[in-house]
């Protein structure tokens, strides 16, 4: 059972932990809609299976699946992966699922943000989004975790935290008038303070070039650990990503975190540029009001969009020319974790990547027995 709590995580002594802190599980949601995923989502489903199996090695995975796809998903996923029936509009549980918060006494609750499909009727990616709006609440029911209903529109992919008081985000997304037009930067910072228990927000300008989420941070940069940030990078000055990443680097190098530390920035190469092929575009059902998939359009590929598991990093294989270099950098960042690549072009074709399709459930503090 999950009760809605009428206060805030900060007031109750809860905080959002960093993703590098231990997890007790991971949620995903099954891709299905043919106006986002080519060929009825069959290739994407194979990619989701590969991600789920790679994570399930050390963290129990739960897959949320519609009734129509339940038998199929159950038959292609390992028996140790829990499959639950849940209605969704699409398959991005980073953004539709709850953001879990923990306290120091073994408590775990979840934040249910409002969701408007990345911009509502002002550039959002589909309508309606009512099923996605209910996903966080349903996950919390199944997890038996109490729920905070946050007062703002926010997607989990638009924030990263270091678990020690610092949040990282982009102005392009959180200050976008298609999310919370009535709220100032200050008011958004106050909400992040109250819900994530962060004291400092580091604002980057824009996310990855052509990112259809209005610049989610999870495609551009993330915390490796407190004080260390991984940033998508390209040396190619003719690539629009260069200016975006250079500006982010400058902001990160001049920032201090909530503990007063300067940040070390590790650069990871951008794959590509990766473009949609004609063969890929033709497999997506064109539907008015949803994101078009056109041959030649650039995809927002990024190696920063990985799953930071308790003992493994599951990262997207996107470009043979850069995959090995990306793996090497991730090994350097996470020497105690196994770095595992999963072919992820099919996920990228849907508009995001491995971080966007996963939602970790943090482990709770183990209390010493007296």
Q: Which residues bind ligand KQY (CB under 6 A)?
A: 36, 92, 94-95, 125, 157, 212-213, 216, 218-219, 291, 350-352, 356
Q: Where are the beta strands (DSSP E) in 105-206?
A: 108-114, 146-153, 160-161, 166-170, 200-204
Cis previous bond, 366, omega within 30: no
157 vs 362, beta carbon nearer ligand KQY: 157
Distance separating alpha carbons of residues 224 and 19, to the nearest angstrom: 9
Q: Which is nearer to ligand KQY, 212 or 257 (CB)?
A: 212
Q: Supply the minimum distance, in Å, between the C-beta of residue 269 and ligand KQY.
A: 19
- The residue sitting closest to ligand KQY, measured at its beta carbon, is 157
Residue 305 beta carbon to ligand KQY: minimum distance, rounded to whole angstroms: 7
Q: Give least dist CB 278 to ligand KQY, A.
A: 20
Q: Which strands, in side-by-side order, build the sheet including 166-170?
A: 160-161, 166-170, 200-204
Closer residue to ligand KQY (CB): 14 or 129: 129
d(CA 253, CA 29): 36
> Residue 142 carries which DSSP code?
H
Q: Minimum distance from CB of 364 to ligand KQY (Å)?
A: 25
Those residues with Cβ within 8 angstroms of residue 361's Cβ, 6 or more apart along the chain or in another chain: 23, 24, 25, 26, 27, 100, 108, 143
Q: Cβ closer to ligand KQY: 94 or 147?
A: 94
**Nearest distance in Å: CB 252, ligand KQY:** 20
- Between 95 and 323, name the residue whose CB sits nearer to ligand KQY: 95
CB of residue 91 vs ligand KQY: minimum separation in angstroms? 9
Q: Which residues are catalytic?
A: 356
* SS3 track for 157-174: HHCEECCCCEEEEEHHHH
Q: Are 70 and 89 in contact (CB under 8 A)?
A: no
Of 56 and 302, which has the nearer Cβ to ligand KQY? 302
3-state secondary structure of 152: strand
Supply φ then ψ for residue 170, to 5 degrees. -120, 145
Q: Which is nearer to ligand KQY, 108 or 293 (CB)?
A: 293
Rounded Cα–Cα distance for residues 94 and 82 (Å):
18
Helix (H) and strand (E) counts in the chain: 12, 18
Q: Kindly state the smallest distance separating residue 212's Cβ from ligand KQY, in Å.
A: 6
Lay out the sheet containing 146-153: strands in order across: 99-102, 108-114, 146-153
Decide if 159 contacts 152 (C-beta within 8 A): no
305 CB neighbour count, 10 Å cutoff: 30
């Amino acid at each position: 059972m999950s009760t809605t709590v009428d206060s805030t995580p900060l007031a109750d002594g809860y905080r959002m932990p960093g993703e590098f802190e231990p997890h007790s599980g991971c949620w995903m949601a099954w891709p299905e809609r043919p106006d986002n995923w080519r060929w009825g989502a069959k290739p994407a489903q194979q990619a989701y299976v590969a991600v789920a199996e790679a994570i399930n090695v050390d963290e129990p995975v739960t897959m949320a699946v519609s009734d129509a796809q339940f038998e199929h998903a159950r038959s292609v996923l390992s028996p140790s992966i829990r499959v639950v029936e849940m209605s969704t509009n699409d398959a991005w549980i980073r953004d539709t699922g709850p953001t879990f918060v923990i306290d120091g006494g073994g408590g775990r609750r979840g934040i249910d943000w409002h969701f408007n499909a990345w911009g509502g009727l002002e550039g959002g990616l589909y309508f309606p989004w009512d099923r996605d709006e209910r996903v966080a609440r349903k996950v919390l029911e199944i997890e038996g975790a109490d729920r905070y209903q946050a007062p703002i529109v926010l997607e989990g992919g638009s924030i990263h935290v270091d678990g020690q008081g610092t949040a990282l985000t982009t102005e392009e997304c959180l200050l976008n008038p298609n999310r919370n037009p009535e709220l100032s930067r200050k008011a958004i910072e106050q909400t992040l303070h109250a819900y994530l228990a962060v004291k400092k927000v580091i604002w980057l300008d824009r996310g990855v070039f052509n990112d259809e989420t209005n610049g989610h941070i999870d495609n551009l940069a993330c915390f490796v650990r407190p004080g260390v940030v991984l940033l998508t990078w390209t040396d190619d000055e003719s690539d629009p990503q260069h200016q975006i990443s250079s500006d982010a680097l400058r902001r990160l190098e001049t920032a201090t975190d909530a503990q007063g530390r300067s940040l070390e920035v590790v650069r990871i190469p951008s794959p590509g540029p990766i473009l949609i092929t004609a063969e890929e575009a033709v497999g997506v059902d064109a539907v008015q009001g949803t994101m078009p998939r056109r041959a030649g359009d650039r995809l927002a590929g990024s190696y920063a969009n990985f799953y930071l598991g308790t003992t493994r990093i599951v990262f997207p294989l996107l470009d043979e020319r850069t995959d090995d270099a990306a793996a090497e950098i991730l090994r350097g960042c996470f020497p105690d974790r196994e770095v595992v690549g999963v072919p992820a072009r099919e996920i990228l074709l849907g508009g995001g990547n491995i971080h966007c399709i996963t939602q970790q459930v943090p482990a709770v503090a183990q209390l010493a027995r007296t």
